[in-house]
Amino acid sequence: MNILIVHAHPEPQSFCTAMKDLAVATLGGAGHSVQVSDLYAMNWNPVASAADFPQRSNPDYLVYALEQREAVKAGAIAADIAAELDKLLWADLVILNFPLFWCSVPAMLKGWIDRVLVSGVCYGGLRFYDRGGLAGKRALLSFTLGGQAHMFADEAAVHGDWEPMLRPLQRGTLAYVGMSVLPPFAACHVPYISQEAREEILRRYGDYLLQLEFAEPLSFPSLADFDRGLHPLQQEMTA
């Protein structure tokens, strides 16, 4: 299996980086091919702008997604985007590895999503969810955070359930472009726990990575359940 790990943490000695290193060692040791995009180490440019298009189909007004589509067709997209898109298309599994910032990803990773999930390749028109451009690939969120697990246990918890927080990533991004999304792995409370507790999290993460082929993907819409106008098909009433 080809695996791309997109890692976004500003501190090379962080626990999040240790999770990335463990994933590289564990998955590589299991015989998989692994590439890493370490966005901070790469000094990745997170800003989606007109500079991403050496040639413009419409030089007077920037519609970013439309320019993406035309630039990819013409082979005229920024070199850093093209290199990451090649990795993405090579991968069977994509792991986004990051610290949870304000219930979301760091700006560096958001910029990777904005610039690399290009229109016309990853999505476009009715090419989304199970008909998305990346259908057949799988994806996984692995992230660290300061909160404790019980704070996100369910809607009665102080912060509520994870799912609404992760929905823009899991449903609105990864599932939208066609990928099957595996259950996330969260490393909780890591700034405040002992070294032994950190090692236990890494052990559990390693075990999880080795069982990915058996993981049941999360459930998201199928376009077969909607009509041409994307209205839900009416279920036949049964007596």
DSSP 88-114: HHH-SEEEEEEE-BTTB--HHHHHHHH
Residue 47: pLDDT over 50: yes
**Residue 80, C-beta contacts closer than 8 angstroms, at least 6 positions apart:** 44, 45, 115
Strand boundaries in the chain, DSSP class E: 2-7, 33-38, 93-99, 138-144, 180-181, 185-187
Lowest-confidence region among 98-102, 151-155, 214-218: 151-155
Q: What is the mean pLDDT of residues 137-145?
A: 97
The larger pLDDT score, comparing residue 14 to residue 150, is at: 14
If you average pLDDT over every residue of the chain, what do you get? 93
Can you count the helices (H) and strands (E) in the chain? 6, 6
Domains of the chain: 2-225 (3.40.50.360)
Q: What is the mean pLDDT of residues 19-36?
A: 98
- Using DSSP bridges, classify how beta strands 33-38 and 138-144 pair: parallel, antiparallel or unpaired: unpaired
- What predicted TM-score, i.e. pTM, was given to this entire model? 0.93
Print burial letters for 110-126: b (CB count within 10 Å at least 16), e (below 16): bbbbbbbbbbbbbbbee
At 153-182, the pLDDT tens digits run 778 778 777 788 899 999 999 999 999 999
Question: Can you tell me the distance from the alpha carbon of 11 to that of 144, in angstroms, rounded to the nearest whole number?
Answer: 13
Residue 98 pLDDT class (50, 70, 90 cuts): very high
